[in-house]
Structure 1
Amino acid sequence: MTDRRVILIRYDEIGLKGKNRKFFENCLLRQIRSNLAGLDEIRYRVPRGRILIDINQSQEEECVRRLNYIPGIASFSVGVPIEPDFDKVAELSIQWIEPLLSAAKTLTFCVRTQRSDKNFHCTSPEFSYQVGSRVLQRLNEKGLAVDLVNAEFVLEVEIGHQETIVFQSRIPGLRGLPVGTAGDVLTLLSGGIDSPVAAFMAIRRGCRSHFVFFDNRGFLGRGGYDKVLRLSRIVNRYQGGGRLYVAPFGDIQAAIRDHCRTPNRIVLYRRMMYRI
């Protein structure tokens, strides 16, 4: 088996954007390139409805880890390019299934085929049948059985115009829209869980979130700033490029405390934050 791998990136919501679809695809591709920067010998291709990334087998684990942080991806798979030959695809499947059978004793499987190349010499169901029957013939006595609905092992085959890719799992993505397709927003970080969650949800809808923190370390010490700094770095993993703005607020807070009635303080704090 070759050490070359192809990552198949799928997206769903982007595909509904009509004439603006190319803009969203370019934003997603730009984010993927940014996240995979630093890895050598990576090549990108963009057939309709898919993004293909050519990598080496040694880069597979790192690429999967980085792709998990990118909004706009519905799912992705790491596949092996292969000739669209029944026997070769079946042999590769057997190499993947046999270790699973050794551990589990019994296993259900199915083969699912998709063809973007409609000129291929057989239909998708026929290709699945030919590959599946060869695999079952070899491994039936070892505990392998067919289940077309709830199979434990699903072999998927994508037959394209230029090559055929075989893969065995779909890794869920973050879905949503690519970062940068819906403008910038500013998120108030206070150290709680609600504000970073709100920023993350905005990022998944295509926004790039920047952050603002009103620093009152004279009252609470440096702990609040350190916590917000950590939170902003965590959220930035999903977008990159988000800035943290720190506004000194201790003197304003002290003035409101000393000169205003207690019931009015929270409202006045918020008013001054909006003015800043």
Structure 2
Amino acid sequence: MAQYDGIVIHFGEIWLKGGNRNSFILMLYDNIKCSLRDEHYARLENARDRFFLETDKKSDLESIESKLSKVFGISWFAPAVVSESSLGSILKAANALLSKKDTVRIVPNRALKTLSFNSADVVTHFIKNSDKLNFKIDKDAKRDLYVSITKNRAFIYDRKIQGAKGLPVGSSGNAVVLFSGGIDSPVAAYYAMKRGLHPVYLHVHAFQNNDDEKLSKIRDLAKHLSAYSCGSVLYCVPGHVFQSSAMRIPRRYELVMFKLFMHRLAERIAKKERAECIVTGESLGQVASQTLSNLTTSQQGIKPLIMRPLIGFDKQEIINVASQIGTFEMSIIKYRDV
């Protein structure tokens, strides 16, 4: 296995920001450090258009890659070998990364246009010195060797790992997430985080007190999702607070009134947590309480914006995402609903 010098980390959508771009970059920097707080590495460098995570001998590359893949705001990242920005040094670094069994296509990128050579010169240099290479080069090879050259150094890597994309969690503020423990609400939380919202979870349970709820799957789900947000807050409320009042409500209105109760509860928590919106896992028409008229009724008088990231999803699409992010199996564990 190749000995990498570190991991080069690129951000996509953030680079499209205007005058506030730097604040997004700094927030992503902090989120990466938070995500890797239990990992060994030498340092995390902010190199303007990318980050470079310098690793050391104690670094667990597989564990670091897994955690980076859950940090929203990262477009892609790659374990890399670092060299000086001269053609000779780049060739030497490539030899250290690859072996005789490897056949690659050279994909150069010259970030600094004032260098004495261009991208075509990089490819030409590899071709002219092919007898000195530990590996083979072929313009039609299915595997790429990337050479990214900056002012003082070059990053050489042979694979790109897709990041979570989106915006850094927290860059859009806080959101109260109505958290049922079913399939939908964890997926809604995931998409809210992807757009930069930091989650404050609200769960209304059927137990008599919160001590009984502590043994349920809810905390496991929240903990699992916290890998995407570097921690979160969970509010748990006994459902009998609503049930004692619901006895006077005609049964046909009970679901809608329960939804309104949760919205009002979320509104109070939003004020406390300085959250500007409420996030739900509702999908239009999926069940009776999610018809257009019932959705409208359940949000009457609620001041914070109610966001429904899954409004246009069908159930199978939601299940697919839940499986992808690792919440599906926990969500289908039997649970006592309110």
* Deviation for aligned residue 1:189: 1.0
Code of the aligned partner of 1:271: L
Out of 101, 120, 131, the residue aligned to residue 115 of structure 2 is 120
* Distance (Å, rounded) in 2 between the aligned partners of 1:139 and 1:46: 32
- In structure 2, what is the equivalent of residue 14 of structure 1? 14
TM-score, normalised to structure 2's length? 0.69
Assess if the C-alpha contact under 8 Å between 1:3 and 1:56 holds in 2: no
> 2:241 & 2:63 partners in 1: Cα distance?
47
Q: Which AA in structure 2 matches 1:232?
A: A
Shift of 1:108: 4.8
Distance 1:109 1:32 in 2: 31
Cα RMSD after superposing both structures: 2.8
* Correspondence 1:232 to 2:222: yes
Q: Which has the higher helix share?
A: 1
1:80-229 equivalence runs, <5 A: 80-94=81-95, 96-98=97-99, 101=101, 108-135=103-130, 144=136, 146-148=138-140, 151-217=141-207, 226-229=216-219
**What amino acid is aligned across from residue 253 of structure 2 in structure 1?**
N
Amino acid at match of 1:270: K
User: Could you tell me how far apart the structure 2 residues matched to 1:3 and 1:13 are?
Assistant: 30
Aligned-pair identity (%): 25
Q: CA deviation at 1:225?
A: 6.8
Contact 2:172 2:196 in 1 (8 A): yes
Matched, 1:274 2:263: yes
Contact 1:111–1:129 under 8 Å retained in 2? no
For 2:5, what is the secondary structure of its paired residue?
A: strand
1:5 maps to a residue whose letter is: D
TM-score, normalised via structure 1 length: 0.83
- Aligned residues of 2:6 and 2:79 also touching (Cα < 8 A): yes
**Alignment pair present for 1:262 and 2:251:** yes
Residues 7-36 of structure 1: CA deviation (Å, up to 9, x unaligned): 211111111111000000000001011112
For 2:219, what is the secondary structure of its paired residue?
helix
Unaligned residue ranges in structure 2 (runs of 5+)? 266-338
Identify the structure with bigger relative contact order (alpha carbons < 8 Å, sequence gap 6+). Answer: 1
Please state how far the C-alpha of 1:232 moved relative to its aligned partner. Answer: 1.0
Q: What is the CA distance between 1:260 and its match in structure 2?
A: 3.3
Partner of 1:56: 56
What amino acid sits opposite 1:34 in the alignment? C
Partner of 1:245: 235
Aligned 8 A contact 2:85 2:151 in 1: no
Amino acid at match of 1:134: N
Task: Report which stretch shifted further, 64-73 or 119-128.
Answer: 119-128
Structure 1 runs not aligned, ≥5 long: 102-106
